[in-house]
A and B are shown apart, each in its own frame.
Chain A
């Protein structure tokens, strides 16, 4: 009997330290029409956390734990995943789906858990005065729209009056978000905007591309995701649309979007808010501690691809926010509320990124109570089909905040009014 008691106590003692960990829920989608984007992001996110565990022994001495839950890009499963994971001390949600984001915005705010929607979600969440728990640094859709237009301005010496621009977009909340910004920019710069909606899942785009072929726009831009990207690029190649005039948002700028079209995709462009490729010191550590140890997430074949890098970058920003929260509150095992404070006071400088082995990987920025959106900078990447790699063809530059900020203010004010909320940070 005594021995049993000893064993039990020992078991409890051994089990207890496991309780202290930093839980990062990963609402991933490795199945369905959008898995092509979901898999690399989830792999990148998990691999960075594994790297921290293996190389540094976690963050501030506390191990990280990825809690993966399959959503299939479906909002109902997203709810199930949120409810299943929120009780486990989940620090920050990154659903990688605009639909699920919209659903979780009120929920995370009520449960006081932060959510980071990097380059997607509700754009006006950049206004921290209204959205206390939602962050979308370093860039959002409206920055993306502006960056596309800025690139067109660069190509045309600053004048795109009368040019025809077609927007091929996913007919959902995600695809519709940038339309308002494009319309404002069209007014400002005098280009003609035509909207072409593609319905879920996006395999059927013949009529849209027939219209493009008939109307011969000067530029085509795309807000696509999942299988829609590859189909659009293939269709563009089929109608011999000049690829250098076809510019996708960052979610349309992945390897699996361009590879199926082969040489036809050569010259296709996409904007991005972080760097591309695996030519960074941190990838050496990744190979040593994670890949060679057989601990890579998924099939381990996505490393260095555009969306893998985005997941990796998202995990890096989350880990930095954890460090920040640990510093602010002086506790190693932080709570979601502390994590929120860490995110709101996050400052990423070039020195920080160089220390992490990711020099020039993303922009330097500082999050404040008012601004949850970061600087909104980005660059243009171009696909080289012969060498099968993306390369940046421009520097990271800012977007037109004189157009975007009023839109953010208007949309967040509408949300605050709808939900009769007080503004913060006063």
Chain B
């Protein structure tokens, strides 16, 4: 009834092959952009920005990055936490070494540095696959955390090994440090997420994305039809690393402001981002958003309902939170093994026919 494409004609090839060919979808996308860019910045407060929106946006960038690697190219990675740490430490070193350069460049360059590191750790993927590759990336995770803990140069020889983000501004507005306004934090993350989302969406439906999918579905067949596994796999590692690096840089500089590598970028983080894309949906940009939202928002929502709303004991609420989130993950995956993105796809199909199903 609401959701149908009848009467929605494409008259040109670009119109037919655009990201959202259905008018309703397209308008919804514009509406989301309008709300995100023009409404939320004016109403967001410190709590919403720091506790909910900024982590959601940053994890969504990381999830898009990992989804390119795992969901589109089929290369399992357990090194996300370590790769985010590369972005964070690169950003820290750049921020302290070149204080006059805009942080926007620093974040981009951190993404580039991470891309290089991830590509290096992606080299084994040319020889090993599946679980064995997962173990190789796990080694990267532990190696990188060890490296940033061990080599004092990375944390500028501070006593505790913590890195702290100094104040930096974009167009005269602070975006890092304690005096940052809520909207500025939110906006810088949103700009990077929008960039990541648009780039990822267009890459994955272009020739590069098709090569990745071919490698994922059957690498020997892909090679036979002329896909070069070297360039396809390494480009997936590099682009995935670029986004993960950006998310790590934002995570450190904008969100937390001070991190300690073992605590912030441990193996937990790798699993968290992997769960996001599994729950959200492998091989789907929307799935990355949905998964990040699920894993970031649900615990906060539960905490606020149980402790703030019902006045329960904090420890009891924390334990229950684990149980409920865990149970929901199982329920979702049993109901729809392909994640929230597939649920959304099915819902769309049903809505097209509603209220007159076959």
In Å, the complex CA distance between A98 and B162 comes to 10
Chain A residue at minimum C-beta to C-beta distance from B49: A83
Contact A106 B256 (CB under 8 A): no
B253-280 vs A, CB cutoff 8 Å, 1 = contact: the mask equals 0011111101110100000000000000
Which residue of A74, A109, A173 is within 8 Å of B162 (Cβ)?
Answer: A173
Chain A residue at minimum C-beta to C-beta distance from B176: A106
> Looking at the complex, which of B114-122, B197-205, B214-222, B312-320 is the stretch in contact with chain A?
B312-320
Which residues of chain B from 140 to 182 have a CB within 8 Å of any chain A CB? Answer: 149, 158-162, 164, 166-167, 177-179
The DSSP consensus for interface residues of chain B is helix
A69-90 vs B, CB cutoff 8 Å, 1 = contact: the mask equals 1101011100110011011000
Which residues of chain B from 27 to 60 have a CB within 8 Å of any chain A CB? Answer: 46-47, 50-51, 55
Contact B315 A30 (CB under 8 A): yes
Chain B residue at minimum C-beta to C-beta distance from A86: B46
The answer to the question of A411 belonging to the interface, with a C-beta cut-off of 8 Å to chain B, is yes
Query: Least Cβ distance of A1 to chain B in Å?
Result: 31
Contact A123 B258 (CB under 8 A): no
Contact B167 A102 (CB under 8 A): no
Contact B47 A172 (CB under 8 A): no
Contact A80 B51 (CB under 8 A): yes
Contact B159 A172 (CB under 8 A): no
- Given A70-B317, A419-B166, A107 and B257 contact (CB-CB distance below 8 Å): yes
Which residues of chain A from 286 to 337 have a CB within 8 Å of any chain B CB? Answer: 298
Chain B CB within 10 A, most for which of A39, A180, A200: A200
The answer to the question of B228 belonging to the interface, with a C-beta cut-off of 8 Å to chain A, is no
In Å, the complex CA distance between A174 and B307 comes to 29
**Chain B residues with CB below 8 A from A103, complex form:** 256-258
Contact A83 B178 (CB under 8 A): no
Contact A172 B262 (CB under 8 A): yes
The answer to the question of A28 belonging to the interface, with a C-beta cut-off of 8 Å to chain B, is yes
In Å, the complex CA distance between A74 and B318 comes to 12
Contact B159 A75 (CB under 8 A): no
Contact B258 A31 (CB under 8 A): no
Which residue of B50, B159, B264 is within 8 Å of A180 (Cβ)?
Answer: B159
Contact A76 B55 (CB under 8 A): yes
Contact A75 B149 (CB under 8 A): no
Contact B318 A418 (CB under 8 A): no
**Chain B residues with CB below 8 A from A99, complex form:** 162, 258, 260, 263
**Chain B residues with CB below 8 A from A30, complex form:** 314-315, 318
- Given A70-B315, A70-B317, A79-B51, A173 and B260 contact (CB-CB distance below 8 Å): yes
Chain B residue at minimum C-beta to C-beta distance from A181: B159
Which residue of B160, B179, B256 is within 8 Å of A79 (Cβ)?
Answer: B256
The answer to the question of A122 belonging to the interface, with a C-beta cut-off of 8 Å to chain B, is yes
**Chain A residues with CB below 8 A from B257, complex form:** 103, 106-107
Contact A102 B263 (CB under 8 A): no
The answer to the question of A132 belonging to the interface, with a C-beta cut-off of 8 Å to chain B, is no
Chain B residue at minimum C-beta to C-beta distance from A124: B159
Which residues of chain B from 222 to 265 have a CB within 8 Å of any chain A CB? Answer: 255-260, 262-264
B294-316 vs A, CB cutoff 8 Å, 1 = contact: the mask equals 00000010010001100000110
Which residue of B260, B300, B315 is within 8 Å of A31 (Cβ)?
Answer: B315
- Given A99-B263, A109-B178, A124-B159, A31 and B319 contact (CB-CB distance below 8 Å): yes
In Å, the complex CA distance between A86 and B50 comes to 12
The answer to the question of A414 belonging to the interface, with a C-beta cut-off of 8 Å to chain B, is yes
**Chain A residues with CB below 8 A from B315, complex form:** 30-31, 35, 39, 70, 298
A406-426 vs B, CB cutoff 8 Å, 1 = contact: the mask equals 010001001100110000000
The answer to the question of A350 belonging to the interface, with a C-beta cut-off of 8 Å to chain B, is no
Query: Least Cβ distance of B335 to chain A in Å?
Result: 28
Which residue of B50, B161, B264 is within 8 Å of A83 (Cβ)?
Answer: B50
The answer to the question of A176 belonging to the interface, with a C-beta cut-off of 8 Å to chain B, is yes
A95-131 vs B, CB cutoff 8 Å, 1 = contact: the mask equals 0001100110111011100000000001110000000
In Å, the complex CA distance between A235 and B247 comes to 40
The answer to the question of A171 belonging to the interface, with a C-beta cut-off of 8 Å to chain B, is yes
**Chain B residues with CB below 8 A from A87, complex form:** 46-47
**Chain A residues with CB below 8 A from B308, complex form:** 84
Query: Least Cβ distance of B156 to chain A in Å?
Result: 8
The answer to the question of B96 belonging to the interface, with a C-beta cut-off of 8 Å to chain A, is yes
Query: Least Cβ distance of B268 to chain A in Å?
Result: 9
Which residue of B46, B160, B164, B314 is within 8 Å of A68 (Cβ)?
Answer: B314
Chain A CB within 10 A, most for which of B51, B258, B300, B319: B258
Contact B178 A106 (CB under 8 A): yes
Contact A75 B259 (CB under 8 A): yes
Contact A84 B159 (CB under 8 A): no
30 contacts between A and B (CB under 8 A): A31-B318, A31-B319, A68-B314, A70-B303, A70-B314, A70-B315, A70-B317, A72-B318, A76-B55, A76-B256, A79-B50, A80-B51, A83-B47, A83-B50, A83-B51, A84-B47, A87-B46, A99-B162, A99-B260, A99-B263, A102-B162, A102-B260, A103-B256, A106-B164, A106-B178, A173-B260, A174-B160, A176-B159, A200-B263, A415-B164
Given A102-B258, A171-B149; 4 other pairs, CB 8 A cutoff: A80-B303, A87-B46, A171-B262, A418-B164
- Residues of B in contact with A (beta carbons under 8 Å apart): 46-47, 50-51, 55, 96, 149, 158-162, 164, 166-167, 177-179, 255-260, 262-264, 266, 300, 303, 307-308, 314-315, 317-319
- Residues of A in contact with B (beta carbons under 8 Å apart): 28, 30-31, 35, 39, 68-70, 72, 74-76, 79-80, 83-84, 86-87, 98-99, 102-103, 105-107, 109-111, 122-124, 171-174, 176-177, 179-180, 197, 199-200, 298, 407, 411, 414-415, 418-419
Closest 7 CB pairs between A and B?
A30-B315, A173-B160, A110-B178, A106-B178, A80-B51, A70-B314, A102-B258
